[in-house]
């Protein structure tokens, strides 16, 4: 992030995320700091916010501004920073498997629809079928007329043979 976010902006953003009343977790215990610790504990107890991430970032000040260390207090995170709760993880895995099955069903439907589409596209369209039907009907009429003439001709020859 150092190359993306300018250093002053990053530092001010991190400073805004750090609760000022947390105190220094690395400070050595001494008698002089007891009063400060008591007052900071009172302040932190009174300044409880509804934000679930409040106090999750801590800071250790260095000798100068370039040596300041920001870190995450994992005890403030859900499940003490150990990832998801087991119930949530199981739910996530079951939802993942359900979505994989749904995806497989949808892929199978897509293949079936694509096969039907290619079959329908390879068949002639209604206009072509109508014109072909009209041509075949005309040919059939011509053949029927020829058949009637042939039958009439054959019937007259049969009559001639019988007489």
For residue 86, name the pLDDT band (cuts at 50, 70, 90): confident
108-135 burial by CB neighbour count: b if 16+ within 10 A, else e? eeeeeeeeeeeeeeeeeeeeeeeeeeee
Q: List pLDDT tens digits, range 99-129.
A: 999 999 999 999 999 999 999 988 878 888 8
Closest by CA position to 70, among listed 14, 5, 23, 7: 14
For residue 43, name the pLDDT band (cuts at 50, 70, 90): very low
- The more confidently predicted of residues 101 and 50 is 101
Q: Is the pLDDT of residue 29 over 50?
A: no
For residue 45, name the pLDDT band (cuts at 50, 70, 90): very low
Mean local confidence (pLDDT), 21-49 = 49
Q: Is this structure's pTM higher than 0.85? A: no
pLDDT for res 137 = 95
Inter-residue contact 73 to 65 (CB < 8 Å): no
Mean local confidence (pLDDT), 69-86 = 77
Quote the percentage of the chain above a pLDDT of 70. 71
Tell me 80's DSSP state.
G
């Amino acid at each position: 992030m150092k190359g993306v976010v300018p250093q002053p902006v990053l530092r001010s953003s991190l400073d805004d995320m750090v609760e000022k009343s947390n105190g220094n977790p690395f400070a050595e215990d001494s008698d002089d700091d007891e009063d400060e610790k008591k007052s900071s504990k009172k302040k932190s107890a009174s300044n409880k916010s509804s934000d679930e991430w409040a106090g999750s970032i801590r800071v250790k000040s260095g000798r100068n501004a370039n040596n300041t260390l920001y870190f995450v207090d994992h005890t403030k995170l859900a499940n003490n920073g150990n990832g998801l709760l087991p119930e949530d993880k199981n739910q996530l895995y079951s939802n993942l498997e359900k979505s994989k099955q749904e995806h497989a069903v949808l892929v199978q439907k897509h293949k079936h629809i694509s096969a039907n589409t290619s079959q329908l596209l390879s068949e002639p369209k209604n206009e072509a079928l109508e014109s072909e039907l009209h041509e075949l009907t005309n040919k059939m009429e011509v053949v029927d007329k020829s058949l009637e003439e042939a039958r009439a001709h054959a019937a007259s020859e049969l009559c001639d043979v019988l007489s």
